[in-house]
A and B are shown apart, each in its own frame.
Chain A
Amino acid sequence: MGLVSFLKSKFKKSDEAKVDAKEEASRDTYSKGMEKSRKNFASRLDELSKRYAKVNAEYFEELEEILIESDVGVDLSLRLSERLLNIAKEEKLSEPKDLNERLIDEMFVGYVTKGEAIQNEIAFQESGPTVLLVCGVNGVGKTTSIAKLAYRYMKKGKKVMLVAGDTFRAGAVEQLRVWADRLGCPIIAGKPDSDPASVAYDGAKYAKENNIDLLIVDTAGRLQTKANLMQELAKIRRVLSREIEGAPHESFLIIDATTGQNGVLQAKAFKEVTDLTGIVITKMDGTSKGGIILSIRDELGIPVRFLGLGEGMEDLQEFDLDKYLYGLLLGEKENA
């Protein structure tokens, strides 16, 4: 059984088994949010396989085009289409439909084998606060993602606390404070333009003294090319690790789904400063296809852990590779 048929059967089965309402609802938001990205990619793949009775050079060229236009990246796109071309030759496959399924297989295997096994949920420490450092370039949705993450773990019964480490951007502290009020969780904030590392220190101290389970540290948006700002981030990380052993236990990079190939450079630069344990892709409810998910994993081995699919605090979903690829290939047609 090919991977795709396996995925299909998995989804069919869960449909028949009438999964509990909660999971159903979760898949609904997921489907709705991802509709745009999947519709485009899937319908184009579908259309491609209809136009070609047998695959040929033009077919592979068009396949490459679809991949690149999904922001998968030139390098990986070329490799994928070359790989498929070889598969077609070796296994004498000529049906576009078969090859499309093999494409998804290749993407799946490529993603899974590129790094460690993936666990989406935050790995909590056995004792003491678990520290999550959140970073990214400007305007990707760090603060909103933090609110969503806080909401998620408060619902799971964790004591969550926020640190407003963006002392630079005007309005940033207010933005996080509004969220903290809505969520009803404690927040530590510094004065405007104060040293974010000292705010992080205060936060870590408070967290230790008040039995906080999850300390989420917001940081100012910074372009990865600004050396002094990257130094500042390194300092925040150092202060955290001095106060709490092993901290930050998780470092998430937030990336906008509409980001092009610069996303790989972003991940690379942030990874040098703090050991990134995961990526949150935001704004997946737009029309972009989030191909950057695949190229970052391919180049750096960092897994995507969550997807942001809307503006509400519940609009955060675990990243599910099966669902993502299944959606890409099959579109909403068979999902309806």
Chain B
Amino acid sequence: MAFESLSNKFENIFKKLRGNATLSEKNMDDMLKEIRVALLEADVNFKIVKSFTNDVKEKAMGQDVYHKVNPSQMIVKIVHDEIQELLGEDQCEVNYNKGGLTSILLLGLQGTGKTTTAGKLSYLLADKNKKKVLVAALDVYRPGAIEQLEAVIGKTSADFFSLGNKENPMVIARKAKEKALAEHYDVLILDTAGRLQIDEGLMEELRNINHEIHPEEALLLVDAAAGQDAVNVANAFNRDLHLTGVIMSRLDGDARGGAALSIKYLTGLPIKFSGVGEKVSDLEPFYPDRMADRILGMGDVVTLVEKAKETIDEKQAEKDARKLLDGDFTLEDMLRQMKQVQKMGPMRSLLKMIPGMPKITDEQQEKAEQEMKTFEAVIQSMTPYERKHPEILRFSHKNRIAKGSGKTNADVNRVIRKYEQSKEMMKQMKNYQKTGRMPGGMKGPWGN
């Protein structure tokens, strides 16, 4: 099915793998194929996808993923890191002309959101960063464009500059700059008309404006839904105008925005901002890691893998796993496991990172955390012997434990029941998977 998330596709591959915990080269090829489709469906340029999947394969071989605890997640992580690396660091700073006027030219195809973004940038620079900002309307072609810009700028503290639609845009740009210099503005934003990169006349006009103004920033607007052609557009604008960066618009939709990766890969231009809504405040810095998740169409599964790696002591986890499989699983082990998971962060943010996991409400979240506390209190109120041999617990023991932990007898019974269930589950798993290891110590005994 088209547009299925990558994680779902991987899950399906792994379903076929049951009982065959390690990854073979054949499985790896299946996975790379899915990665390729996911990237193409995200509108990453074809050529880039090709070299990209090759890179990933090499990296995966180099890291010997076949013997890792969870190879599919490792591969996702490699893909994710690779995309993130390609997208580069956060570079959301405007290049200011220190001590002088900073000019910002906004460019792009028609309908990519230049005027809206002019408003958002003005809000960011004038209202938030307290700069003195002048915004000039250079779109003399599209009916209503000047009125639109004026209305948008009216919502910010920036000033608006227009000479109507009868004047040549280059002349408007020059006069705007004269005014900005004379009146000591910090920033001049120039909102140009949308144009096709193959429209020679209009591109010539842009070159002239560029020559006249020498802007510190020439930013290209790219729609998050842009297709395979986005790289040609970016290349053409970059060749003619020496762009300094890109702004992705409409990242609040469900487009995966693969164009960001393509453009960055081919032009090296930093992606500085992302538009995430229709209000003037809806401009965010560009986050390469979020973009990587988005392109792959998945929850933040990588962060989960990383967190799990950081917090779970691998040796201990292995020991636990072996113990579990031997049926030698005590309440202490259960508690340790729970704590390990707790270290990874609040339940809700953990669940959020698992793709396909239903969103849990505040209420459920609180309940889950409360439950964890109850377990801890109850188990810690037992004697070490009781923790190892909960089967000896009689009513009087339970009474004492309940009192000691400030919980009820029912709570104590619930803990023990949960423990029995976990133990039973472990036994079943042992039968199911006689060889191989447990998938880390990640599965808590309260099950999921």
Contacts and interface: CB of A to CB of B under 8 A. Distances in A.
B41 A74 contact: yes
Interface string A240-263: 000000000000000010111111
A139 B223 contact: yes
* Interface SS of B by simple majority: loop
Given A139-B110, A170-B148, A286 B223 contact: no
A170 B152 contact: yes
Contacts of A256: 111, 223, 225
Given A259-B225, A261-B43, A140 B111 contact: yes
B226 A178 contact: no
Interface string B200-237: 00000000000000000000000111111110110000
B143 A175 contact: yes
Nearest to B259: A260
A29 interface: no
**Most central of A36, A137, A261 by chain B CB within 10 Å:** A261
B109 interface: yes
A133 interface: no
B198 A286 contact: yes
A169 B149 CA distance: 10
Interface stretch (A65-73, A205-213, A325-333): A65-73
Contact of B145 (A65, A171, A224): A171
Contact of B147 (A70, A170, A266): A170
B226 A259 contact: yes
B151 A292 contact: no
B2 interface: yes
Interface in A249-291: 256, 258-266, 283, 285-289, 291
B40 A68 contact: yes
B106 to A, nearest CB: 14
A263 B224 CA distance: 11
A293 B229 CA distance: 15
B122 to A, nearest CB: 13
Nearest to B225: A262
B143 A263 contact: no
Interface stretch (B62-70, B248-256, B312-320, B397-405): B248-256
Contacts of B225: 137, 256, 259-260, 262-263, 266
A36 B198 contact: yes
B94 to A, nearest CB: 24
Contacts of B149: 170-171
A311 B254 contact: no
A262 B256 contact: yes
Counting chain B CB atoms within 10 Å of each CB, the highest count among A69, A178, A263 belongs to A69
Nearest to A178: B143
Nearest to B42: A261
Nearest to B149: A171
A13 to B, nearest CB: 32
B41 A261 contact: yes
A286 B109 contact: yes
Interface in A217-231: 223-226
A28 interface: no
B2 A264 contact: yes
A287 B149 CA distance: 28
Interface in B1-29: 2-3
B245 interface: no
Interface in B371-430: none
A334 B225 CA distance: 34
Interface residues of B, number: 49
B96 interface: no
B113 interface: yes
Nearest to B251: A223
B198 A171 contact: no
A174 interface: yes
Contacts of B254: 223-225, 262, 265
A138 interface: yes
B144 A171 contact: yes
A178 B143 CA distance: 6
A226 B254 CA distance: 10
B227 A138 contact: no
Contact of B228 (A168, A176, A288): A288
A167 B141 CA distance: 21
A85 interface: no
Given A174-B143, A225-B252, A283-B196, A69 B46 contact: yes
Q: Could you say which of A174, A177, A260 has the most chain B C-beta atoms within 10 Å of its C-beta?
A: A260
Contacts of B46: 65, 68-69
A64 B424 CA distance: 52
A170 B153 CA distance: 10
Contacts of A70: 228
Given A68-B46, A74-B40, A225 B223 contact: no
A179 interface: yes
A309 to B, nearest CB: 11
Given A73-B2, A137-B253, A172-B144, A287 B229 contact: yes
Interface string A289-324: 101100000010000000000010000000000000
5 contacts: A171-B147, A258-B223, A259-B225, A287-B198, A292-B227
Interface of A: 36, 65, 68-71, 73-75, 137-141, 143, 168-179, 223-226, 256, 258-266, 283, 285-289, 291-292, 299, 311
Interface of B: 2-3, 37, 40-43, 45-46, 109-113, 115, 141-152, 196-198, 223-230, 232-233, 250, 252-256, 258-259, 278
